[in-house]
Amino acid sequence: MKIVNFDDPFAFSAKVEPILSENEDVFSLFNGVLQSIKAGMMEEPFMATAELEGNVIALFQMTPPFPLNMIFTDEQHMDSAIDGLADYLLSHNIPIPSIISLKPWAERFADRWTAKTHHSSKIIMDQGLYRLDKVDETLEKSPGIRRLAQESDKPLLEKWHQGFIADTRMPEVTSEQAAEWVERTVQRQEIVLWEDHGIPVACAKQARPSQNSVSVSFVYTPPEHRRNGYARTLVADFSADLLNKYQFCMLYTDMLNPTSNKIYQEIGYRKIADSVQLGFEVKENC
């Protein structure tokens, strides 16, 4: 078994996209990030495969500071692939603050990584991966309209971005980083707002488009506008529009937030997998 590191995203894509296409919904995050790498939107990505006798048994991808994503195509040789990757990362001094993958795969990696490094693992987010093929047309809608985010919305969206990060327990960002993120997404026309009587009350974002799918993310309602159904109405309306361009939509949910999971199921999203993001830190007694 050997780890093959790729500097050329197109060479990496040629190797892994046939595998990703077999489970485009479950592997939507990996595939979407890969498309961003190919478009030159990510700096210094880590891209690698684990290969055994000419066969790809695992795929790895990381765009710092985001987590390492991993896919295993041969679970019989999963431990060998994990050990090979761990040795490669350690020997090349490549840090991994966190990982994201299907829950059994992530937990197996964490067990072997902590044994090698004496780092402890912790759950950053226990996630459900949902897929939508058709919006429930009987869903009751909240008042308002959907519109594309504009330049004048950027100060508000920067504040909401910080609120979203706090709610989802994601790594903190500076005000400058939030402003840069909002600037990029508004320019790309990725963010939509729900507006009630001229007041923005919720937002959502499209992300990681692939050949047949697109993800919905950054679903946020500020505290003062919650419990009015705005986010559910916006996601339903936005998803229905996206389904005119893509075969299906994807999104990740926080499994510790039963409200959001219930909302998405009411829209028509169905959970297809359990995912988890795990972080690592040095054990105190080491």
Q: Residue 284 — pLDDT band, cuts 50, 70, 90?
A: low
User: What is the pLDDT at residue 216?
Assistant: 97
CATH node for 135-267: 3.40.630.30
Q: Residue 171 — pLDDT band, cuts 50, 70, 90?
A: confident
Global confidence as pTM:
0.89
What proportion of the chain, given as a percentage, has pLDDT over 90? 82
Residue range 93-106: mean pLDDT, rounded: 94
Q: Are 19 and 74 in contact (CB under 8 A)?
A: no
Helix residue ranges per DSSP H, the chain: 9-22, 28-38, 78-91, 103-117, 154-168, 175-187, 230-242, 258-267
For the record, the structure tokens of 150 come out as 């504009």
Q: In what order do the strands lie in the sheet containing 213-220?
A: 2-6, 46-52, 55-62, 68-72, 98-102, 270-282, 119-132, 248-254, 213-220, 199-207, 191-196, 145-148
| Domain ranges within the chain, ordered by starting residue | 2-128+277-282, 135-267
- Reference 266, options 98, 73, 132, 104; nearest CA is 132
Whether 2-128+277-282 shares its CATH topology with 135-267 is answered yes
Which residue has tokens 């991994």? 96
User: What is the pLDDT at residue 172?
Assistant: 77
Q: Residue 282 — pLDDT band, cuts 50, 70, 90?
A: low
Indicate the range of 55-64, 133-142, 173-182 predicted with least confidence. 173-182
For the stretch 241-274, pLDDT in tens is 999 999 999 999 988 888 888 999 999 999 999 9
- Reference 127, options 281, 260, 266, 267; nearest CA is 260
Tell me the average pLDDT of the chain.
93
Asked: is 2-128+277-282 a CATH 3.40.630 domain? The reply is yes
Q: Are 45 and 6 in contact (CB under 8 A)?
A: no
Q: Are 5 and 15 in contact (CB under 8 A)?
A: no
Q: Residue 286 — pLDDT band, cuts 50, 70, 90?
A: very low
For the stretch 194-250, pLDDT in tens is 999 999 999 999 998 888 999 999 999 999 999 999 999 999 999 999 999 999 999
